[in-house]
Amino acid sequence: MSLVRQDVESRVNLLRRFTRRPGRTAAEVTALVVAAVVAFPLYWMVLSAFKPAGEIRGEPRPWTLAPTLDSFRRVFGQQDFGRYFLNSVVVAVAVVIASAFIAFLAATAVTRFRFRLRTTLLIMFLVAQMVPVEALTIPLFFVMRDLGQLNTLWSLILPHIAFSLPFAIWMLRGFVKGVPEALEEAAYMDGASRARFLWQILFPLVLPGLVATSVFSFISAWNDFLFAKSFIISDISQSTLPMALLVFYKPDDPDWGGVMAASTVMTIPVLVFFVLVQRRLVSGLGGAVKD
């Protein structure tokens, strides 16, 4: 009797797999199509970076290539390219560290402490996320001018920290809330101070969320062109890597090979950073969704 039951169950499972297969296949095909559409611009950028100058504007031949490094030589041959790269690294690292540190403390405060207008403060974080960056560029320009920070890296670091904090605080709030208060009480009973609990117990537990928010902060600061174009006016030595694209783009005779090569070089640090933190990023996003 048990053998008959097992045979029936196997047939039912096989039937279920067969009936689910069309929908699952359609979903997989759709995912592959979306991935191909998303990846095609990246493929075309890298392909154009290795093309000779005469073939970029010629008849498109996307599947054949006689690679050359001339575009990369022109990029690295630019006098200020290395300084642009270093400025971008300084801005991105400063934004990531500062926003993660402030967001961690702020998320802990709004989660663990009870104070008046706490809900209003959280709503203000959401409202801040809804305001378009372009609408605040001119007011920020006058603020930086009054502070004397135009043509400095601080004019890029401070706005990006401000725009990264609302999202980071909202995401980290879920992670801090997921840590049981009993754990905090047990740490205090064992003689741990509030600072020790904060950095030795709570910080490692919310680290996946910090990594997830750091990725968004890094990408936003690294790819920024609007603030760099608006706040760095006369001192080109303070420009960042996105501004290097303007060196190769001339309205009358744009160097598309240089633009694509510079864009490829600019993309590599983002990919490296993502590969290094992808595991914690997935767990961090999963924890945020779970909350």
In the predicted structure, residue 232 carries a pLDDT above the cut 60: yes
Residue with tokens 């490692």: 204
Is 217:95 a contact under the CB 8 Å cutoff?
Answer: yes
Q: Where are the domains positioned within the chain?
A: 2-49, 79-290
Residue with tokens 């493929």: 43
In the predicted structure, residue 195 carries a pLDDT above the cut 70: yes
In the predicted structure, residue 161 carries a pLDDT above the cut 80: yes
- Residue pLDDT, tens place only, 76-94: 877 788 888 888 999 999 9
Mean pLDDT of 59-67: 58
What's the mean pLDDT when you consider all of the chain?
78
Q: Considering only CA atoms, which of 290, 261, 212, 224 is closest in space to residue 88?
A: 224
CA 77 to chain centre: 29
Cα–Cα dist 13/30, whole Å = 25
Mean pLDDT of 137-148: 88
AA identity, residue 6: Q
Mean pLDDT of 106-114: 83
Other C-beta atoms within 10 Å of 181: how many? Answer: 10
In the predicted structure, residue 249 carries a pLDDT above the cut 80: no
Is 215:281 a contact under the CB 8 Å cutoff?
Answer: yes
Cα–Cα dist 97/49, whole Å = 33
- In this predicted structure, which of 32-36, 177-181, 218-222 has the lowest mean pLDDT? 177-181
Q: Considering only CA atoms, which of 87, 64, 85, 62 is closest in space to residue 75?
A: 85
Is 166:125 a contact under the CB 8 Å cutoff?
Answer: yes
Other C-beta atoms within 10 Å of 182: how many? Answer: 8
Res 290: pLDDT: 45
Res 20: pLDDT: 53
AA identity, residue 59: E
Fold of 79-290: MetI-like fold (1.10.3720)
Tokens of 210: 């910090």
User: Distances in Å between the alpha carbon of 177 and those of 125, 156, 166, 204, 254?
Assistant: 17, 32, 17, 14, 52
Cα–Cα dist 141/37, whole Å = 37
